[in-house]
Amino acid sequence: MKKNTKMKVIHYIMATSALLMLPLASCNDDFTERSPLDKISDAKFWQTANDLKLYVNNLYSRNDLLEKEDGWGSIGPYGWDANDGSDIEVKYSYNDRMNGEKTVPDDNDGWGIDDWESLRNINYFMDHYKTVEDLTSFDAVKQYVGEALFFRSLFYFKKLCRYGDLPWASVTVTINSDLLYSERLPRNQVVDSIMADLDNAVNYLPARAGGAWTGRITQEAAMALQARIALYEGTWEKYHAADQFKPAVNQSVKFLEKAAKVSGDLIAMSEANGYPALDNVGVEFGYRDLFNQENYASSKEVLLWRKYEAGAINSIWDRYSAGGAGRGATKNLIDSYLKADGKPVAPDYDDATLLKVVENRDPRLAQTIQINDGKHFRWEKATPPLYFIAPTFDGWDSEESCPTGYQIYKGHNFRYADARPAGQGLQALIYFRFGETLLIYAEAKAELDNITQADLDKSINKLRDRVNMPHLTISVARDPNFEFASLPPIIQEIRRERKVELACEGFRVNDIMRWAAAGELIVGKIPVGAKKAQWIGFKFEDYLPEATPDIERQGKFEERLSALEVDGKGYIKVFKNTLNGGTQGFKFNLNRDYLLPIPTNQLTLNPKLKQNPGW
């Protein structure tokens, strides 16, 4: 079969799989009955392992599976999601879910026909790959089966985070399937199925084991996903055990044990053969440089990532990161970084200036936010090089601004002379890294109440070694400023480590949801930024190499700065009075907002779905 003919078959298969997924909806009989393009049938396509590879390649390009960052703000919860909208990172506009403003949609919004298309594509593959297996062998097809199972697991996990209970489909759903009229399965039954899929994926996929990067999913990446999902469900069931979001049967221990087992196996692989491993251990600015690369082919830490090509598929982030990208860290995040001696900062520590904020602190802080110390690049290849001198308040509410004063440096690729033009962004996008797996292991063991010093030494303390921070000990003292009133100190400290190590990578919202922590972290809280007073009287002309006065820029900076409101202690109030008058803080509904609602029309068409609590 000619190459271009096979690609036409792929396009046909992917197009026809855009039919009805799991939710009940109207069907287009003409569409379901039309003939394949060029009158080529499935029987002529499913012939070789390369046919399977061609099919699965399309899954890699689906934005609802592995986000491509091809539109601003489109990144999902596990990539460079700087639109986190949580307690640690905000945009100019607040996250309406955190304020309890979501409403029940009439249709779509994550549960429409198109929202289930990827699942049908995957199941269509699973229904047909055995045709190739019969012609070849299972060894010839198992890698692509493993990739499809990885994607099905990822698809369902994202739906689980949004809706909880779900209908489960492991075969192609047709207009006559009983599943269209069925109830949703309890969330932990869905996760059981995900775990089974990933157990098989881990067995089927090849291990990279430090070998050449291929761009394809590996055994290590599947293990990282499995550990992530198991931790999510284990902690969700543990911390929602007494509310309306609990499953009928609590299986938190089972999933936490799975998270500990899989992450521990990945650590054992690291110890045995040196892959995976942390990058840049003990290297100055090594933490910073983990997140600003165009290519991770030689990385031991980054297990799955997306490579960009100018003019073909481009990153958006590196067009805006030098200007703040329309978001900023909050004081809440800044205060969470320990001092260089491993002790927490005092409630009244000196944070009057950016330089004071990072003085004698965990080095990750100064490698996460921009500091005007003559070392933080804006553009390294400019002549002369340009350094950060002040937050881009002058950008106001566009992508070229920072609303909090704590401008994000993490992920900024400064190795240019200026910002990348449209269509030429090359900043790579990280999906899974070994550092997260180390945190999963420590958290799961602590939640099971069987963590040891040896466990900390091969997980949390590996992360601290990278930046030369003192080790965490099992007998950690209680910090009066811990975020959670009743949790053991070791769990609190592991959560703090997760907060700072994964800061601004898009994990925080889902962490708050699985910990049932909105009551302590979100409700009534008003996010604030840096001290405004430090920029009163600031002049661009006082800083080299921008010695030539820029009257227009200076005027805009002063105008925007003067418009910033502050709280009683002088910290920037990001949302001014737009968040409930500026005095009440977020109004997250603890009895409703941990899950999103099912659209009204889906409940009308299939009442057995039932609405999520509180909606």
CA angle 35, 37, 38 (to 5 degrees): 105
Contacts of 565 (CB under 8 A, 6+ apart): 572, 573, 576, 577, 582
3-state secondary structure of 496: helix
Whole-number pLDDT of residue 396: 65
3-state secondary structure of 580: helix
CB 354 within 8 Å of CB 375: no
Contacts of 366 (CB under 8 A, 6+ apart): 358, 373, 376
Of 353, 335, 354, 355, the residue nearest 345 (C-alpha): 335
Which pTM value belongs to this model? Answer: 0.92
For the chain, how many helices (H) and strands (E)?
22, 9
CB atoms near residue 521 (< 10 Å):
20
d(CA 385, CA 526): 37
Domain-by-domain residue ranges, the chain?
1-67+110-182, 76-106+308-427+475-615
Burial 526-557 (b: 16+ CB within 10 A, else e): bbbbbbbebbeebebeeeeeeeeeeeeeeeeb
For the chain, the residue count is 615
Of 330, 445, 275, the residue nearest 84 (C-alpha): 330
Place of tokens 């950690």: 476
Contacts of 211 (CB under 8 A, 6+ apart): none
Q: 3-state SS string over 509-578?
A: HHHHHHCCCHHHHCECCCCEEEEHHHHCCCCHHHCCCCCCCCHHHHHHHHHHHHHCEECCCCEEECCCCC
3-state secondary structure of 244: coil
CB 115 within 8 Å of CB 22: no
d(CA 522, CA 61): 35
CA angle 188, 192, 196 (to 5 degrees): 165
Q: From start to end of 317-426, where are the E strands?
A: 327-329, 377-379, 386-387
Whole-number pLDDT of residue 113: 85
Place of tokens 């100019």: 92
Contacts of 358 (CB under 8 A, 6+ apart): 365, 366, 369, 371
Whole-number pLDDT of residue 410: 96
Place of tokens 């492991």: 170
Place of tokens 């566009």: 398
Alpha-carbon dihedral sign for residues 482, 484, 488, 492? negative
| Max Cα–Cα distance, the chain, nearest Å | 76
Kindly report whether the peptide bond that precedes residue 247 is cis, defined as omega within 30 degrees of 0: no
Whole-number pLDDT of residue 22: 28
Alpha-carbon dihedral sign for residues 498, 500, 506, 509? positive
d(CA 82, CA 88): 10
Q: From start to end of 68-164, where are the E strands?
A: 89-91
Contacts of 15 (CB under 8 A, 6+ apart): none
d(CA 359, CA 95): 31
Q: Mean pLDDT, 10 residues at a time, over the chain (615 residues)?
A: 41 33 29 33 86 96 85 44 76 93 90 92 97 97 98 97 96 88 96 98 97 97 98 98 97 98 98 97 97 97 94 84 92 98 95 98 98 95 92 81 96 93 89 98 98 98 98 92 93 98 95 98 97 95 66 88 95 94 95 97 94 98
Whole-number pLDDT of residue 549: 60
d(CA 132, CA 49): 7
CB 455 within 8 Å of CB 327: no
Whole-number pLDDT of residue 5: 41
CB 356 within 8 Å of CB 533: no
d(CA 60, CA 215): 10
